[in-house]
């Protein structure tokens, strides 16, 4: 197929003009490549996003220059250059606020059991575009000609107008070349709100097992992008329906518990997705889109399938599902190679997500409120968001009562925080004071003494040094002479 120079009409010309105006550095970079006798084209997502009116500051280019030639040109143009992807043909640079990645024309595919693609450099932009994941990402804007030329050999513009995801080659061939594209389909459906072509969906379903050859890190990165999109429900549902989730996050499809006429309970899968959406609606409390709260919301009930118990006479219980779910969350996130801080935060939130339901109508003592704050630690606002999002009842009176009760708990936390600096709860004496008062050296006894003082602090609030000293000495005497 020859490269098609499309006559875009008024709308298309406007898109190109908008792209050039919004990415002025693209023109200067093109001049640098043209000066050395090479071609350069803006390609893929940035072209798509420019047409959609959502172009950002990260630009992707393709060129007939080989990687080391690209690196040399970028060094003369960019403020900073890095070549961590040079083996795959990619060199990156940054100039001002704009980051660029320039990749040599290439073709790539996965061998049957390989976790990394075999990359071969190509000679034409046509070949480069044919190897890309979806037609809406297989458009290019050639910048080194007399004037910018729009290149669209697979009617990506038409698919963009129809809001559909289709592959340049057959979906089977595309996903065989790179199985991660199956997850990208779900991710783009979430990010763009597009439908997936039926051939693509069929291939994803029949080839889902191929995702197992992809490294956990790459799978994680795609899953995170999906989860952080504006419409994660769309992508998660696609992963579940095609069977990809069974291999990537199997705990999620397991939430689709069977429900019979005698043992009624909420659809846990639907509930979890709704909790995710309701948490997203409160993210302004966390400063904007937040990966930890989204993961915790999605995973908070994954302990239910393992703890499900059918009760005599009807009904279902899920005793200690928060404990089981916390462990399962940790294991899944470790398998996906999440960083330790994120794993620990999500594990903590899943473990604590039911704590509020012991609050009743506000019967907790100040001590219990202090413990709630201490156990949440830096994740207190996350826990507020998760707990509120976890109310998906259709009973308006019950929902209103729960909201008002949690309002009351937050008010009590605020009042105690003002009085006692709850976020900085610590014993009234420090380790040095304990050792001086008790005449002991650093040892396990110091830790036990501090634990005793912390319990006093939690139970009674600030004691002051004088009373804390009296209590400590009495405790020490009782330990020495029981």
The tens digit of pLDDT for each residue in 298-308 reads 999 999 988 88
pLDDT band at 279 (very low <50, low <70, confident <90, very high): very high
pTM of structure: 0.81
pLDDT band at 4 (very low <50, low <70, confident <90, very high): very low
262: pLDDT strictly greater than 50: no
How many CA atoms does the CB half-sphere of 79 hold within 13 Å? 7
Q: What is d(CA 86, CA 92) in angstroms, rounded to the nearest whole number?
A: 9
Q: What is d(CA 79, CA 70) in angstroms, rounded to the nearest whole number?
A: 15
More confident residue, 357 or 91: 91
Place of tokens 């709308």: 11
Confidence at residue 1, expressed as pLDDT on a 0 to 100 scale: 31
Sign for the pseudo-dihedral over CA of 308, 313, 315, 321: negative
Domain boundaries, the chain: 1-161, 163-248, 255-424, 431-480
Do 276 and 346 contact (CB within 8 A), yes or no? no
Do 405 and 384 contact (CB within 8 A), yes or no? no
More confident residue, 17 or 152: 152
Do 109 and 117 contact (CB within 8 A), yes or no? yes
Helix, strand or coil, per DSSP, at residue 140: strand
Helix, strand or coil, per DSSP, at residue 41: strand
423: pLDDT strictly greater than 90: no
Q: How far is CA 451 from CA 79, 209, 278, 339, 431, in A?
A: 53, 51, 38, 30, 11
pLDDT band at 100 (very low <50, low <70, confident <90, very high): very high
Contacts of 122 (CB under 8 A, 6+ apart): 104, 105, 106, 107, 128
Confidence at residue 77, expressed as pLDDT on a 0 to 100 scale: 94
Confidence at residue 7, expressed as pLDDT on a 0 to 100 scale: 44
Of the candidates 331, 271, 278, the one whose C-alpha atom is nearest the C-alpha of residue 301 is 271
Q: Of the given ranges (66-70, 360-364, 369-373), which has the lowest mean pLDDT?
A: 360-364
pLDDT band at 260 (very low <50, low <70, confident <90, very high): very low
User: Tell me: the pLDDT tens digits for 373-392?
Assistant: 888 989 999 999 999 999 88
Average pLDDT over residues 158-187: 94
Q: What is d(CA 372, CA 237) in angstroms, rounded to the nearest whole number?
A: 34
Confidence at residue 58, expressed as pLDDT on a 0 to 100 scale: 86
Helix, strand or coil, per DSSP, at residue 336: coil
More confident residue, 370 or 113: 370
pLDDT band at 395 (very low <50, low <70, confident <90, very high): confident
More confident residue, 88 or 262: 88
pLDDT band at 482 (very low <50, low <70, confident <90, very high): low
13: pLDDT strictly greater than 90: no
232: pLDDT strictly greater than 80: yes
Do 408 and 362 contact (CB within 8 A), yes or no? yes
| Helix H or strand E segment including 136 | none
| Helix H or strand E segment including 144 | none
* CATH entry, 163-248, from 2.170.190.11, 1.20.1740.10, 1.10.110.30, 1.10.3720.10: 1.10.110.30
255-424 has the same fold as 1-161: no
Q: What is d(CA 320, CA 304) in angstroms, rounded to the nearest whole number?
A: 9
* CATH entry, 255-424, from 1.25.40, 1.10.3470, 1.10.3210, 1.20.120: 1.10.3210
Do 129 and 43 contact (CB within 8 A), yes or no? yes
146: pLDDT strictly greater than 90: no
User: What percentage of the chain carries pLDDT values higher than 70?
Assistant: 88
Average pLDDT over residues 453-482: 80
Confidence at residue 370, expressed as pLDDT on a 0 to 100 scale: 85
User: Tell me: the pLDDT tens digits for 70-97?
Assistant: 999 999 999 999 999 888 899 999 998 8
Of the spans 123-132, 137-146, 222-231, 301-310, which averages the highest pLDDT? 222-231
Tokens of 230: 């504006």
Average pLDDT over residues 140-146: 88
Confidence at residue 379, expressed as pLDDT on a 0 to 100 scale: 95
Do 194 and 187 contact (CB within 8 A), yes or no? no
261: pLDDT strictly greater than 50: no
3: pLDDT strictly greater than 50: no
To the nearest whole number, what is the mean pLDDT of the chain? 86
User: Tell me: the pLDDT tens digits for 29-48?
Assistant: 999 999 999 999 999 988 88
User: Tell me: the pLDDT tens digits for 451-467?
Assistant: 888 888 777 777 788 88
Contacts of 60 (CB under 8 A, 6+ apart): 42, 43, 44, 45, 46, 100, 101, 103
pLDDT band at 11 (very low <50, low <70, confident <90, very high): very low
227: pLDDT strictly greater than 50: yes
Confidence at residue 374, expressed as pLDDT on a 0 to 100 scale: 84
How many contiguous H segments (helices) and E segments (strands) does the chain have? 23, 13
Looking at the DSSP bridge assignments, the partners of residue 101 are 60, 92
User: Architecture of 1-161 per CATH?
Assistant: 2-Layer Sandwich (3.30)
432: pLDDT strictly greater than 70: yes
């Amino acid at each position: 197929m020859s490269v098609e120079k499309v006559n875009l009409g008024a709308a298309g010309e406007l898109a190109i003009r908008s792209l050039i105006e919004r990415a002025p550095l693209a023109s200067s970079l093109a001049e640098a490549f043209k000066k050395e006798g090479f071609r350069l084209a803006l390609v893929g997502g940035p072209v798509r996003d420019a047409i959609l009116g959502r172009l950002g500051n990260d630009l992707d280019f393709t060129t007939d220059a080989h990687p080391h030639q690209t690196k040399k040109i970028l060094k003369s143009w960019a403020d900073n250059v890095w070549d961590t992807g040079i083996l795959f043909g990619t060199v990156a640079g940054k100039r001002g606020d704009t980051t660029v990645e320039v990749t040599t024309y290439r073709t790539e595919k996965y061998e049957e059991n390989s976790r990394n693609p075999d990359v071969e450099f190509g000679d034409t932009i046509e070949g480069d575009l044919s190897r890309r994941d979806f037609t809406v990402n297989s458009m290019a804007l050639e910048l080194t000609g007399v004037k910018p030329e729009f290149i669209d050999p697979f009617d990506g513009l038409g698919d963009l107008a129809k809001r559909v995801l289709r592959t340049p080659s057959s979906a089977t061939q595309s996903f065989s070349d790179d199985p991660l594209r199956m997850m990208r389909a779900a991710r783009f459906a979430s990010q763009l709100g597009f439908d997936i072509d039926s051939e693509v969906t069929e291939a994803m379903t029949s080839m889902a097992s191929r995702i197992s050859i992809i490294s956990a890190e790459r799978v994680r990165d795609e899953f995170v992008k999906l989860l952080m999109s504006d419409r994660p429900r769309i992508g998660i549902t696609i992963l579940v329906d095609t069977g990809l989730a069974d291999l990537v996050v199997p705990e999620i499809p397991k939430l689709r518990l069977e429900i019979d006429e005698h043992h009624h309970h909420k659809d846990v899968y639907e509930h979890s997705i709704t909790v995710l959406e309701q948490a997203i609606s409160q993210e302004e409390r966390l400063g904007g889109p937040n990966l930890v709260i989204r993961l915790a919301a999605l995973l908070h009930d994954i302990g239910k399938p393992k703890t499900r118990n059918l009760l005599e006479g009807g009904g279902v219980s899920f005793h200690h599902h928060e404990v089981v779910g916390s462990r399962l969350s940790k294991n899944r996130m470790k398998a996906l190679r999440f960083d330790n801080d994120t794993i620990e935060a999500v594990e903590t939130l899943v473990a604590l997500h039911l704590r509020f339901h012991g609050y009743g109508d506000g019967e907790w003592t100040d001590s219990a409120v202090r413990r709630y704050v201490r156990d949440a630690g830096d994740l207190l606002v996350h826990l507020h968001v998760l707990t509120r999002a976890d109310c998906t009842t259709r009973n308006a009176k019950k929902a209103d009562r729960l909201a008002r009760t949690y309002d009351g708990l937050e008010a009590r936390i605020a009042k105690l925080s003002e009085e006692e600096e709850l976020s900085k709860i610590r014993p009234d004496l420090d380790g040095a004071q304990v050792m001086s008062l008790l005449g002991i050296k650093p040892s396990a006894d110091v830790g036990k003494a501090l634990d005793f003082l912390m319990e006093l602090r939690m139970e009674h609030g600030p004691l002051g040094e004088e009373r804390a000293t009296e209590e400590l000495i009495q405790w020490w005497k009782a330990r020495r002479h029981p």
